[in-house]
Amino acid sequence: MCAKKDNIDNSLYDGLLEGNKQFVKDTLALDAEYFVNLAKGQKPPVLWIGCADSRVPANQITNTKPGEIFVHRNIANMVIHTDMNMLSVLDYAVNVLEVKHVIVTGHYGCGGVIAAMSNQEYGLIDNWLRHIKDVYRLHASELDIIEDDIERSDRLVEYNVIENVHNLCKTSIVQNAWLKGQSLGVHGWVYSLNTGIITDMKVSAYDNANMDNVFRFK
């Protein structure tokens, strides 16, 4: 066991554990069987692929309860075909949990998107941000003429969600589910930190009919 260092203030850490005790107390006061029922298993109808930003908690902003949303989060809500973590979550959600909807959720003011718009070198994360820079490249003709930095980053946030919905649809996991006749919708949302409102990007897909032929499985 490691000894506690005198120069570290553990009050925040200890507060988290106290907060847990209060959470259990408050929850049991409302429903004495809450944790017993929760422990029986999960069958969430939704997979949420969101940003790791601490201000965008899936359950709170959708007014849902634990057990209703299966969650994967990373920097800037990316769907990258070589990301085995994301693919493993997706495979489990689609093929084992049999979720009905997968939602890519970005948010305005995303630090990852803003960093990708710059020419600054950040380190290891630059390899991740490169994928967002590719999204910018695809839509540069529109983005380059937006003079306001905040407006431009907000638009890139939207395009980043849209492109990652397309990436999600192209995965073998989603396409095979569709080919089997599984009911599965893929969607893109953007959340506003300023208003708390979610905007549907209107790019929902329920099959691969509109996918470019080179990506389509038959």
Given the structure tokens 């007014």, which residue do they identify? Answer: 63
Q: Is 81 a catalytic residue?
A: no
Q: How far is CA 50 from CA 25, 113, 175, in A?
A: 30, 13, 21
Catalytic hit among 31, 55, 126, 134: 55
* Contact between 175 and 216 (Cβ < 8 Å): yes
CA 101 vs. chain centroid, Å, equals: 13
Could you say which of 51, 152, 154, 169 is catalytic?
Answer: 51
Torsion 149-145-153-155 (CA) sign: positive
| Whether 55 is catalytic | yes
CA distances from 171 to 90, 124, 131, 181 (A): 10, 26, 16, 16
Cα separation of 52 and 74, whole Å?
5
Catalytic residue among 72, 73, 110, 187: 110
Rg (CA), the chain: 20
The rounded distance, in Å, linking the Cα atoms of 91 and 81 is 12
110 is catalytic: yes
3-state secondary structure 82-98: CCHHHHHHHHHHHHHCC
Catalytic positions, please?
A: 51, 53, 55, 107, 110
